[in-house]
Structure 1
């Protein structure tokens, strides 16, 4: 992941102009850290089956991180979560202004596909990767989840509806990361299995985030916390104890499914997943 981080820094979006901070706004959230969870999943699948393609896969991993970062910038906007802190620093609309934040998010969204289109992979593979990223990050994926999340603030949803919300908002991009890794190495035979695994992983990730929102302060979390009272979070719907039980059940299911993977895939994914599977207990 250190090599991926170097790749990210070397390929930061460039947009030289007389604008005083446009280019800086494109870099701020990318270089301020982040878990790099989604790139790590994609690269783990690639290393498991064809390590020689790892460097070529950096483009796809970066594209996912770009799309994810754009979603965070927009998620923090005053019209959405109105958050002040992200990745341990001020959000873009606080550093600059709301217009800059909107446009920076737009730019990173489209730059993701520019980076992906330039990946040193076959055109056939690139088209499949673009399709997966666009589908899972776009109108029937992450954006749909965000739309439901925002529209139903202060309106109680049923558990199945909350799961649908978060499968789209969080799960689908995580699932796409695993699926795209399989596509890069020509393992389409396991792409669907990894995608389904990623949906469960995304749900767990979201339940954990909801739990951490009420148990961590802003310094430890690196972002605005205790900001979900009006949202359809798992903690708001189920209560803290039931949300913890739901997370435990899902963590056990994910661990069991991971044990069914072949040895190479387990070896590559375990360091990343073991760090996150039980983070709600930390």
Structure 2
């Protein structure tokens, strides 16, 4: 799935006809810089396991999710937020170009994602469901309020329940939406869609805990972005200690892998392998 998606991404990079000297280059820069494409792979894994004939049509939906995720990273790195110099081993857009370009590229990727959903080769009823899922989980009731809380509560200690709320919204909901949207494409029943969404929330928190651990233990060269960067943030390491975060990771990992056993064999194997690859 990763190779298939990367080929599709590179063949369908967003661009616009204009006489701006570098905007198309900036649009593509962070998309071409790599990344795990984890959310796109989650969606495609569901479709490949349940309705493999729909994978080709699902690539556009996976790309929409990737555009949303990349926009969120570009804005997260801005001076007004994390003020980061590097992302995916490359200069962040406001460093490579300027802050105006970074803001507008993020805006463009965000809105382009919904244009892709509107153009997908699915019936209108399904496209509306896909738009609703992505907008809900990436927008006000998901990633946006999570990011707002992350920024506002810097240097203000949250308790564990509050921290989980923050990162469920900032990180986990878009991961859960990726599984949910794959399930919607395959027309799985309501119960299966809800189960995959709930599993996605757990996977999302698991990846956030792992990311916090990597920030505390990895190097900039290995991570492709600044490390030891969360000292002012509400991270699982800062709240629980490194030992506590490692324990929480193990417990949540066990919960996720137990949940995989309730899925059909092909989907369980696909998701298990994907999660193990990036932990």
TM-score (normalised: structure 2)? 0.98
For 2:228 and 2:21, locate their aligned partners in 1 and report how far apart those are by CA, in whole Å: 34
- Quote the residue 1:252 is aligned against: 254
Instruction: Specify the alignment match of 2:230 in structure 1.
Output: 228
Task: Give the whole-Å Cα distance in 2 for the aligned partners of 1:270 and 1:247.
Answer: 15
Over residues 27-67 of structure 1, what are the superposed CA-to-partner deviations in whole Å (9 max), with x where a residue is unaligned? 00001111000011000000111100000000110000000
Instruction: State the Cα distance separating 1:224 from its structure 2 match.
Output: 1.3
Give distance in 2, aligned partners of 1:72 and 1:206: 14
Aligned to 1:95: 96
1:157-215 per-residue CA deviation (whole Å, 9 max, x = no partner) reads: 11100000000000000000000000001003311000000001000100000000011
Q: What's the CA shift for 1:7?
A: 1.1
Give the Å deviation of 1:15. Answer: 1.0
How far did 1:69 drift? Answer: 0.1
Matched ranges for 1:185-224 at <5 A: 185-189=186-190, 190-224=192-226
Deviation at 1:246, TM superposition (A): 0.5
Within a 5 Å distance, the mapping from 1:127-276 to structure 2 comes to: 127-189=128-190, 190-276=192-278
Work out the CA distance in 2 between the residues paired with 1:138 and 1:239. 31
Shift of 1:138: 0.2
Q: Distance in 1 between matches of 2:120 and 2:269?
A: 26
Does structure 1 retain, via aligned residues, the 8 Å contact 2:257–2:272? no
SS at match of 2:156: coil
C-alpha distance in 1 between matches for 2:170 and 2:96: 25
Taking the aligned partners of 1:3 and 1:122, their CA distance within structure 2 comes to: 24
Give ranges in structure 1 of 5+ residues lacking alignment: none
What's the Cα RMSD here?
0.8
User: Separation in 2 of the partners of 1:264 and 1:238?
Assistant: 36
How far apart are the structure 2 equivalents of 1:2 and 1:50? 19
* TM superposition outliers: structure 1 runs of 4+ over 6 Å: none
The alpha-carbon deviation at position 271 of structure 1 amounts to 2.1
Q: CA shift at 1:121, angstroms?
A: 1.1
Aligned residues: 277
CA distance in 2, matches of 1:51, 1:128: 20
TM-score (norm 1): 0.97
Tell me the alpha carbon deviations over residues 81-112 of structure 1, each in whole angstroms, 9 at most, x when there is no partner: 00011011100000001111000000000000
Q: What is the distance in 1 between the residues matched to 2:275 and 2:244? A: 23
> Match of 1:192, SS?
helix
* SS of corresponding position for 1:43: helix
**Gaps in structure 2 of 5+ consecutive residues:** none
Contact 1:47 1:268 in 2 (8 A): no
